[in-house]
Structure 1
């Protein structure tokens, strides 16, 4: 599908408190709509963008601007979680400038934005820390995404100082029935809380999973049980 035939839009998935169901914010996800109204997922949209000459980093930048514009248009409440591919440092500075210009133009605030980063990207730790430090100086905080799918020394939590960690769906799936997964989630949660880092469980689809995560001390959840990605998400916490 040629990129010029696609219109980009955002879907937002709520992130809610597992304690009182209040809304923390939304994760923004990119989608495309063709001339017939059919919706394309992120992989197909990225493929179209690459065919049009945009690399993954360039498309990543454009997607964040689209999400900001849509969040402001809807007066979306809470914190906005945006996915970030950590590129090389010069591209980081360029992205920060673009983000800050868009935030200023839209009347938004950098402290309402959380950048989601997966540390399995092909960056040395020193490079990753330099990238995240640069965003931090610009007023952004970040979340380490997909924990449980890759090995990471606990010391990185202290060195990188994220505001949030997100436990991957593979760790949360059937967690109420899996003692090993419970132990892993408990260890991540205790390590995070010892550094004043909040924890989000991803991919919660069953009440039993939500209850188990809550009992493990995990503050926030995300998943189909709590709210599906939607172009026009609900405006309050899930009861």
Structure 2
């Protein structure tokens, strides 16, 4: 089990000038007279431009047994595999923003089906200010390719917790997305999030941590440990996109979430599709038997809202109710 932040995408800088480092069990074949060996496993050479670094990288392009990196001194900093190194270099503007750029959370309202009062808000990551046009999709795509998805996911969770400050009153829930694949050891990796919750004096029971993942999660026991760790701190957990991807209905009993969010593909024009209606009925019935709160997301039409309410869903979310915004807005 990985217990240090090196594996969680710690920052990596591309200096315009400095020293290029190479580390491995058999590096002699890569070295020329410009290198200085520190020991049998690591050596460095000076460079005066990133173009030089790009040329040097080509020597290691197909190597699986070395790590490379940059430093402004003769002491190595972070060393990574050559493939990830080059991807980060090619995407360094986005990588720099992932590491240090200003982020914020937009809030999208979630309402109770019964009285249509605000129940909570989902926090959605955005680039802050007008100087950057990075979309959340772009940020997470590059983060995944460059090994920085854990760092970005951690930063997103922090911004989501901070978004409650002076905006969301106590008792109203905050739904916060997280990627289970970025949490290697729940006891260790979630400490940063728990410290942020304590720092901003947020009631843990007002936070709902929501599993999101584009690929199927195969390590269900690991996911169980992550969810149990959140619950141990007094927080709630939710499964997103039930009915698509890994979150199939038969996982509800095994994972025992506090909430389930139905995949929007089953909500879209559900009033016109008998098969979707059958799925919504069966999911709602099973969740109620397990004491799980149900949320229909992606509602964009009154007909969808009315049907989900009739079926018995507890909560609703979507453009019909309210769009994500930097500030809280009055509902329809």
TM-score past 0.5 threshold: yes
Question: Which position in structure 2 is the counterpart of 1:204?
Answer: 299
Q: Deviations over 1:105-149 (max 9, x none)?
A: 111121111111147543422221122112211222111100121
2:280 aligned with 1:194: no
Q: Look at both structures and tell me which one has the larger radius of gyration over its CA atoms.
A: 2
Q: How many residues are treated as equivalent by the alignment?
A: 235
Gaps of 5+ in 1: none
Q: What's the CA shift for 1:37?
A: 3.8
Which residues in structure 2 correspond to 1:7-156 (within 5 Å)? 7-33=102-128, 36-47=130-141, 55-76=148-169, 78-87=172-181, 90-118=184-212, 120-150=215-245, 154-156=249-251
TM-score after normalising by structure 2: 0.65
In 2: Cα distance, 1:180 partner to 1:75 partner: 38
2:156 is paired with a residue whose SS is helix
- Cα RMSD (Å): 2.4
TM-score after normalising by structure 1: 0.88
Question: Which position in structure 1 is the counterpart of 2:272?
Answer: 177
Q: What's the CA shift for 1:91?
A: 3.6
CA gap of 1:50–1:198, structure 2 versus 1, over 3 A, is closer
1:21 is paired with a residue whose SS is coil
In 2: Cα distance, 1:46 partner to 1:76 partner: 29
Partners of 2:204 and 2:235 within 8 A in 1 = yes
Q: What's the CA shift for 1:219?
A: 1.4
In 1: Cα distance, 2:208 partner to 2:253 partner: 18
In 2: Cα distance, 1:153 partner to 1:146 partner: 9
Partners of 1:33 and 1:39 within 8 A in 2 = no
